[in-house]
Structure 1
């Protein structure tokens, strides 16, 4: 049973020092650390840490936003940890999934995240409806259909559907639809 720490900063200008001190103070045996954006980049050290874990281990982070991109991502990670019988602790909010209180806090976070998502989608649908009513919403442009003539020309030249999709930067399903519509 090992205590594994994970530390991350988002930009090269930031330092890991404070996180490393907190993790060492929490008695971690091994720390996986990286400088990577939580949103834009893959995080090889997070993947390595998750691969390294064994049943009975504990993962510790300083703050929730250091390990997960979103609440949904956090819940996916924690669910994966629980399936492997690995505990999860967050130092700044004293969350510990090995305790009933920690599990309750995590469930509350999940419920709040789901509620926020549903409210955002409801506001989005209402905004689209209002924009449509006002004649300001057109939806996204049909980029593939606008390229139908070019797609058919490339197909007539003997190019494969995948080659046409790649060249026009559209999905291969769109190329199939264009070809089918041309035969009809």
Structure 2
């Protein structure tokens, strides 16, 4: 792929009974050279066409849609997609809304969308923090389970005292060396406490 900035497009219809022809025509008339497509509900997050577009697009490229609602059915998903594009330096243009994020008005709207995304994440984070705290108060494990439980840490300690190298121990426990070192350091702290 060259370093030339590309004019990319995305079209979506909800069912196979609908056609994307009108969207294709509008994007081609707007100068789009490559179009990615999905035929599925905008409520679904795992849309292959959108994922392929996001994987293909590079900084400086422009993605054009006929309307912002083509990016997703929920405002949250549309905002998060726009935020990802902004973070990656990919411009967005929506024909129906007349939004072009390379222009002053579009840049202002991009800022508004970024603020909305931040606002959207704040209550989600607060609820997640409260749920984790409630789980901890009840003695429940929160987050990702530990790769090495106490018996494995004791085994690692024994192997280390027997002269095995960290790489050999990590391989025998089927963990990375970094995981071994973290577990070994925390076990040493517990032993010295």
Query: Which of 53, 61, 64 in structure 2 is aligned with 1:60?
Result: 64
Matched, 1:25 2:45: no
Query: Which of 50, 56, 78 in structure 1 is aligned with 2:58?
Result: 50
Using a 3 Å threshold, how does the CA distance of structure 1 residues 110 and 143 change in structure 2: closer, same or farther? same
1:111-130 to 2 correspondences below 5 Å: 111-130=115-134
Contact 1:152 1:178 (8 Å CA) reproduced: no
Q: Deviations over 1:7-60 (max 9, x none)?
A: 366xxx969951x6314323134114266x96598945544442784xxxx431
Contact 1:23 1:61 (8 Å CA) reproduced: no
Q: TM-score, normalised by structure 2?
A: 0.59
Query: Which of 73, 76, 82 in structure 2 is aligned with 1:74?
Result: 82
Q: Structure 2 unaligned runs (5+)?
A: 39-43
Q: TM-score, normalised by structure 1?
A: 0.61
Q: CA deviation at 1:137?
A: 3.3
Alpha-carbon separation, structure 1, partners of 2:83 and 2:177: 33
Q: Secondary structure in 2 aligned to 1:109?
A: helix
Matched, 1:148 2:153: yes
Using a 3 Å threshold, how does the CA distance of structure 1 residues 103 and 31 change in structure 2: closer, same or farther? same
Contact 2:11 2:65 (8 Å CA) reproduced: no
Using a 3 Å threshold, how does the CA distance of structure 1 residues 78 and 136 change in structure 2: closer, same or farther? same
Please name the residue that 1:172 is paired with: 177
